[in-house]
Amino acid sequence: MLPLRLRLLGLWNTFKPQSYRPVIPSQVDHEALVSDIADALWQAPKRIRSLWSAYQGLMARKDHVGKLGQIGTTSSEEAFVLHCLLDFARPANLIEIGTYHGGSTRRILDSIEELQLDTAVFTYDIEDMVRHFRPDEAELILRDVSGRVDEEIFDRYPPGIIYLDAHPWQLLQDVARAALKREDWILAIHDCSPILCNPRMTIPKDEPRLISARTGHWERHVLADIFGVEDPLDERLDKLETESHSLRIFGSQHGLALIMPKVLVRA
């Protein structure tokens, strides 16, 4: 049970008048998405368009939307960005942080099968709530890697893709900063849309339990801090380059960010 102070803060965040109230869009501009993915991965738009049409067949066969949903989980469009990334990088492994019921893990596993890859999937959470995959398909690891991401992930697995879909401020900071120190890992982060960014967060950064769509998410705040952009709502954050990495935030329902080392994409 949360201490009284945090329970009161949670109630305040939920019910205060004119509280921050994000409305997640149900429609995505697919042409813009295709062209943004093509641009981020240095691929021809035609190739991404043809992947999208095959991907729609996969989603329909597996009933992804019906079984896994679209909002509050990795949507079809966000899963498609991960699908293109898997197709492009063909990694030895994919590390997910933030499993929940395993909806995103299911979509990732189905992409791996469809693309005939040999990618192993490890998925981290702090609680076992899995419904959508079997233990022989992906390994669930119950561990908080905050403060230990190098030992627990970057030095432990051969380079691959990390899909970060957990909201604690410290965890986001640690994973994004560690990824930017390397040029062999690709990092995707869920929930980076400006809609999910409350510029006036009212919860402490060290309190992971209260974070919800009602409070706003830390993702853009963390990225703004790391990439030296003052305002987390500044749209420069959606397409930004450093000497070694590129950051893209796709205009999907929840906003999916990709942090890619340039040497991997433009080799």
Ligand X SMILES: C[S@@+](CC[C@H](N)C(=O)[O-])C[C@H]1O[C@@H](n2cnc3c(N)ncnc32)[C@H](O)[C@@H]1O
Please state whether beta strands 186-189 and 161-164 pair in parallel, antiparallel, or not at all (unpaired): parallel
| Closest alpha carbon to 138 in 124, 152, 159, 156 | 124
Question: Does 126 interact with ligand X (rule: CB under 6 A)?
Answer: yes
Instruction: Tell me the one-letter amino acid at 11.
Output: L
Kindly tell me which of 13 and 173 has the beta carbon lying closer to ligand X: 173
Q: What minimum distance in Å lies between the beta carbon of 42 and ligand X?
A: 27
Kindly tell me which of 33 and 95 has the beta carbon lying closer to ligand X: 95
Which residue of 13, 70, 73, 111 would you call a contact of ligand X, by CB under 6 A? 73
Q: Supply φ then ψ for residue 160, to 5 degrees.
A: -165, -140
Question: Does 216 interact with ligand X (rule: CB under 6 A)?
Answer: no
Size of the site for ligand X (CB under 6 A): 20
Question: Does 255 interact with ligand X (rule: CB under 6 A)?
Answer: no
C-alpha pair distances (Å), 130 with each of 71, 101, 257: 18, 4, 24
Kindly tell me which of 16 and 143 has the beta carbon lying closer to ligand X: 143
- Give the Cα-Cα-Cα angle 229, 231, 234 (nearest 5 degrees): 85
Give 151's Cβ-side CA count (13 Å radius): 6
Determine the 3-state secondary structure of 97 from DSSP: strand
Which residue of 146, 173, 198, 215 would you call a contact of ligand X, by CB under 6 A? 146
Question: Does 243 interact with ligand X (rule: CB under 6 A)?
Answer: no
Kindly tell me which of 171 and 179 has the beta carbon lying closer to ligand X: 171
The contact set with ligand X (CB under 6 A) reads 73-74, 97-101, 103-104, 124-127, 144, 146, 165-166, 168, 171, 208
